[in-house]
Amino acid sequence: MGSTTESTHGPLQHRARRLGIDTHAERVVLMHKDCHVCRAEGFDSLARVEIASNGNRALATLVLATGDMLAKHEVGLTEAAWNDLRVREGDWVEVRHAPQLTSLGDVRGKIFGRPLDESSSLRVVADIVAGRYSPVDLAAFLTACAARPLNRDEMRALTAAMVDTGERLRWSAPVVADKHCIGGLPGNRTTPIVVAIVAALGILIPKTSSRAITSPAGTADVMETLTTVDLELDVMRRVVEREGGCLVWGGAVHLSPADDIMIRIERSLDLDGEGQMVASVLSKKIAAGSTHVVIDVPVGPTAKVRSSEGARSLADDLVAVASHFDLQVIPLFSDGRWPVGRGIGPALEARDVLAVLRNHREAPQDLRARAIDVAGAVVAAARGITPTAGRLLAEDALASGEAWSKFQAICEAQGGLREPAEASQRAPITAERAGTLRAIDNRRLSRLAKLAGAPDDLVAGLRLDVVVGDSVELGQPLCWVHADTVGELHYALEYAARNPDIFDLDPA
Amino acid sequence: MGSTTESTHGPLQHRARRLGIDTHAERVVLMHKDCHVCRAEGFDSLARVEIASNGNRALATLVLATGDMLAKHEVGLTEAAWNDLRVREGDWVEVRHAPQLTSLGDVRGKIFGRPLDESSSLRVVADIVAGRYSPVDLAAFLTACAARPLNRDEMRALTAAMVDTGERLRWSAPVVADKHCIGGLPGNRTTPIVVAIVAALGILIPKTSSRAITSPAGTADVMETLTTVDLELDVMRRVVEREGGCLVWGGAVHLSPADDIMIRIERSLDLDGEGQMVASVLSKKIAAGSTHVVIDVPVGPTAKVRSSEGARSLADDLVAVASHFDLQVIPLFSDGRWPVGRGIGPALEARDVLAVLRNHREAPQDLRARAIDVAGAVVAAARGITPTAGRLLAEDALASGEAWSKFQAICEAQGGLREPAEASQRAPITAERAGTLRAIDNRRLSRLAKLAGAPDDLVAGLRLDVVVGDSVELGQPLCWVHADTVGELHYALEYAARNPDIFDLDPA
């Protein structure tokens, strides 16, 4: 039957034109409404199409233009589409109906209650990694995984799929240490300190970190203010072989690339489901070749994990799923009631990290203590010694300055250590009455830092002037908003004005 | 605090430029990456922004351009954004960070298991109607409602919200009849026939229909091939006052406008959750001022409703939820195993409808019988007589030609009756072996019709040459694909070649 039409069909080609439009990972192509391909193929705006050129293919969303923006023989490509096709201006591009994606049937199945299995997870994740999902498709998948919480088999299947669709690191050392913190606690930036301590003690810790999902800063964002974090795989290897540790962005080494694509949508939906979280965390650790991972789970009413039961069940899931991949997970529960340190936002948190590593007297002691707890647990697991013994070794490595030297060495190996930049705009948030600071709302504090521009703007965020328990005067600054633009500063201050109870002041 | 920055902030304005880009309901604005507003506000691509001009406001998705496509002082608007702001070329447009949408918190709540209530439903639906949701937001809400099936209180709340955010019709007559079919059965186009019969019998039936969601045709699509269906409210009123019935598109009279916005996303996700369906169906009927609605529920393994239990529970939900709105729902279960009539697709189904109304000898008898069943149930409910008595009246009105005269009168009142157009491209799908036709897969048959271009292309679809039970020869045409473009014809035939078992032929 096909043959009856092949002859009349044939490839319908257009000339590539770079629009210089940035739609991030979303691939969009523009065509003129009256062009022969649109008429022949019956394309409507927002149709999914396959574009092909010089043997490269990509799926994209079609948008129709009527004006004089495009000639009828041109197809306009946004940056993501342009880069996928690797075309030059004027190259021939073929545009066809997008093929059916079998994996979207798997997504519908999940929406209506059919659990993900190994093959369906792999189909979905492979299509996501290949950039075949529209933002709407991604939103449906992520929402389904949050609304129909994944069971452990699904978490295992999704984790395996995310590992199998990315790079995988292998290390000669028998023990490869790692750590992770289930976010939700502003300013809890222990990772750079932990890596410095653990590497200083001669334990291999090739750390890859993600950028923020729904928080004002991820470790990769923070480290970016101090050194280069987007290292290619071979460069990262050299750093680790030389220093025994590194602090790089996971996305650049393509460990679990599916995760990096999903993060943007999770962010815009402010969505971060538990099963998704387990698969996201473990797939990165497994792909990084880790054998022992300490996972810090801060628990508090406004932290990501709100109850000890929730923390327990999350930890059990992590341990159970990890065990299928020869990965030992050591959960560490910590106080997640208030923010940690003084800075919230990439550059501001980096300053706290440096102060602790340099053993400055005014360094935030809560951040220091937490870093030692986590590092101690890592050392204990890696060396097979008691937590107490591990903790002592960790504290000593930090106090002696060995950790600081190791941190500098790692940053030098990654491209040089620099001091974090300063924000150009600052304004205080002041106490509306005198009283004792009873609590701080982590979630709205994070929202405030994000409105100021964090994490996309590295210098933006907050610097806390008070800690819970302090008694404050009327008009006393509680924290300073740092922003790089007046617009964002204004936007954050407006939000603070509407939410005076982010800082819970107990009068009398 | 605000005052410290007001002075430096102020409105940041750009000149409106119409891009002539069609993104349907999605509002997109383009700005130059290096423009002062983007720098001052710290905008990133895909950020949600609020645009304002001459007192009109809209939320939109921002996309950054680098090339020479836009000047730095210009903001490019896609058609939806352009129409919302009602600007003229060169008008001042202010672009700000989008305000927080409280209702997105309600969506997240639903995702994680918090049921919708009256206020949250209203917040969500009001924001959707105001065009404040991005496609990603809409996808998350619709997926959540499908993955966490709505209970009856939620269905009631969502229905009320969808009614309250649209127009609402009131009629003087004490009895206002209506009918609806839970789709999934290709070619089951009884509505135009039922309306003609019921109106001919002097019962008020102001019928508004939707376009297809996931099927190859909706009644509005079919009627569009015969007359004008996008009537304004007052025009529709005049038609109904004169003829006692009408056949118009619900979207044009703004009954439950939220539904019309959600449909496009449901379509692209091929998603149609039960609670969503109940709210969508009932909100339209309530807004239309109906008092008695017959709901046809075809049941079959490849119909939308697959089991009699499923049909029962859906009917119970419809009856129960409707009762809160003084609407009487009469469920009617029908055989949903095979397609109905010969045509599948707007124009092709219209031909079947005309044949039945004109009492042509070759008119599809299955469609005729179903139309009489539904019309009979409507008449019985409206007149308070027995189903049998209602059925006899209906059959008589059709056989006597009164229904056909009424149908012509209604179409004339709506703007004139015309014959449906013909497709330019046709090709047969032939039997790959001799045998008896045991079954037809409704879902894949619908998919086939959609690949041929239905419903967006009104003349596209399928014309069946065989019915279940026929014995066919090798190579005999089973159906003809009708398309308006070679591309679509080819695309449909390819799919048919990959799915020879859409027609289940029993050899011997």
In this predicted model, what pLDDT tens digit does every residue of B418-471 receive, in sequence order?
A: 999 999 999 999 999 999 999 999 889 998 998 898 998 999 999 999 999 999
User: Which residue type occupies B394?
Assistant: A
Task: Say if A457 is an interface residue toward chain B (CB within 8 Å).
Answer: yes
Predicted pLDDT of residue A1: 34
Question: Burial letters for B154-169: b for 16+ Cβ neighbours within 10 Å, e otherwise?
Answer: bbbbbbbbbbbbbeeb
Structure tokens at B215: 């099927």
Predicted pLDDT of residue A12: 61
Residue A4 reports pLDDT greater than 60: no
Say whether B427 and A5 touch across the interface (CB within 8 A): yes
Task: Say if B483 is an interface residue toward chain A (CB within 8 Å).
Answer: yes
Q: Which of B272, B317, B352, B441 is labelled catalytic?
A: B272
CA atoms in the 13 A half-sphere facing the CB of A227: 21
For the stretch B192-247, pLDDT in tens is 999 999 999 999 999 998 888 778 999 999 999 999 999 998 999 999 999 999 99
Q: Percent of chain B having pLDDT more than 70?
A: 96
Q: Do residues B275 and B149 touch, judged by C-beta distance below 8 A? A: yes
Give the mutation candidate from A5, A83, A429, A447 for the B interface (greatest B CB count, under 10 A): A5
- What is the band of B12 on the pLDDT scale with cuts at 50, 70, 90? low
Say whether B493 and A147 touch across the interface (CB within 8 A): no
Residue B458 has what DSSP assignment? Answer: T
Predicted pLDDT of residue A406: 98
Residues of chain B in contact with residue A108, where contact means CB-CB under 8 angstroms, are 269-271
Residue B398 reports pLDDT greater than 80: yes
SS3 B167: coil
Residues of chain B in contact with residue A479, where contact means CB-CB under 8 angstroms, are none
In angstroms, the CA B289 to CA B175 distance is 10
Say whether A69 and B44 touch across the interface (CB within 8 A): no
Say whether B111 and A26 touch across the interface (CB within 8 A): no
User: Which residue type occupies A294?
Assistant: V
Residues of chain B in contact with residue A103, where contact means CB-CB under 8 angstroms, are none
Say whether A41 and B487 touch across the interface (CB within 8 A): yes
Predicted pLDDT of residue A508: 65
Average pLDDT, chain A: 91
Q: Do residues B476 and B437 touch, judged by C-beta distance below 8 A? A: no
Q: Residue A21 is nearest to which of B39, B63, B491, comparing CB atoms?
A: B63
Tokens 């001459």 -> residue: B54
Tokens 């304002």 -> residue: B52
Tokens 């030992």 -> residue: A328
Structure tokens at A242: 């030389």
Structure tokens at A422: 């300063």
Say whether A12 and B268 touch across the interface (CB within 8 A): no
In angstroms, the CA A91 to CA A13 distance is 10
Closest residue of A to B39, CA-based? A485
Residues of chain B in contact with residue A423, where contact means CB-CB under 8 angstroms, are none
pTM for this one?
A: 0.84
Question: Burial letters for A276-311: b for 16+ Cβ neighbours within 10 Å, e otherwise?
Answer: bbbbbbbbbbbbbbbbbbbbbbbbbebbbbeeeeeb
In angstroms, the CA A171 to CA A129 distance is 25
Task: Say if B102 is an interface residue toward chain A (CB within 8 Å).
Answer: no
Question: Burial letters for A440-469: b for 16+ Cβ neighbours within 10 Å, e otherwise?
Answer: bbbbbbbbbbbbbbbbbbbbbbbbbbbeee
Residue A3 reports pLDDT greater than 50: no
Residue A411 reports pLDDT greater than 50: yes
In angstroms, the CA B336 to CA B317 distance is 20
Tokens 């609605």 -> residue: B293
Question: How near does any CA of chain A get to the CA of B182, in Å?
Answer: 18
- What is the band of B504 on the pLDDT scale with cuts at 50, 70, 90? very high
Task: Say if B4 is an interface residue toward chain A (CB within 8 Å).
Answer: yes
Say whether A66 and B97 touch across the interface (CB within 8 A): no
Predicted pLDDT of residue A9: 35
In angstroms, the CA A275 to CA B345 distance is 42
Q: Percent of chain B having pLDDT more than 90?
A: 74
| Nearest residue to B78 via CA among A270, A373, A28 | A28
Cis peptide before B455 (omega within 30 of 0): yes
Tokens 């699509």 -> residue: B221
Torsion of CA B77, B81, B84, B85, to 10 degrees: -30
Can you spell out the DSSP letters for A267-289? HHHT---HHHHHHHHHHHHHHTT
SS3 A402: helix
| Nearest residue to A259 via CA among A209, A303, A294 | A209
Residue B9 reports pLDDT greater than 80: no
Residues of chain B in contact with residue A310, where contact means CB-CB under 8 angstroms, are none
Q: Do residues A107 and A147 touch, judged by C-beta distance below 8 A? A: no
Sheet holding B503-506, edge to edge: B471-472, B435-440, B503-506
Of A411-415, A472-476, B11-15, B214-218, the range with the lowest mean pLDDT is B11-15
Give the mutation candidate from B103, B110, B150, B269 for the A interface (greatest A CB count, under 10 A): B269
Task: Say if B272 is an interface residue toward chain A (CB within 8 Å).
Answer: no
Say whether A457 and B42 touch across the interface (CB within 8 A): yes
SS3 A96: strand
Question: Burial letters for B384-423: b for 16+ Cβ neighbours within 10 Å, e otherwise?
Answer: eeeeeebbebbbebbeeebbbebbebbbebbeeeeebeeb
Q: Do residues A370 and A355 touch, judged by C-beta distance below 8 A? A: no
Mean pLDDT of B343-363: 97
Residue B364 reports pLDDT greater than 60: yes
Structure tokens at A402: 């060995």
Task: Say if A5 is an interface residue toward chain B (CB within 8 Å).
Answer: yes
Task: Say if A39 is an interface residue toward chain B (CB within 8 Å).
Answer: yes
Active-site annotation holds for B272: yes
Interface contacts (A, B; CB < 8 Å): 221
Of A224-233, A355-364, B37-46, B461-470, the range with the lowest mean pLDDT is B37-46
In angstroms, the CA A187 to CA A248 distance is 19
Predicted pLDDT of residue A11: 46
User: Which residue type occupies A56?
Assistant: N
In angstroms, the CA B61 to CA B78 distance is 10
Say whether A46 and B20 touch across the interface (CB within 8 A): no
Predicted pLDDT of residue B184: 67
Residue A85 CB neighbour total at 10 angstroms:
24
Structure tokens at A114: 């059919």
Q: Do residues B425 and B498 touch, judged by C-beta distance below 8 A? A: no
Residues of chain A in contact with residue B137, where contact means CB-CB under 8 angstroms, are 139, 269
Predicted pLDDT of residue A24: 82
In angstroms, the CA B80 to CA B87 distance is 12
User: Which residue type occupies A91?
Assistant: D
**Strand bridging mode A471-472 / A503-506:** unpaired
Beta pairing partners, B56: B53
* Chain A residues 143-172 with a CB less than 8 Å from chain B: 143-144, 146-148
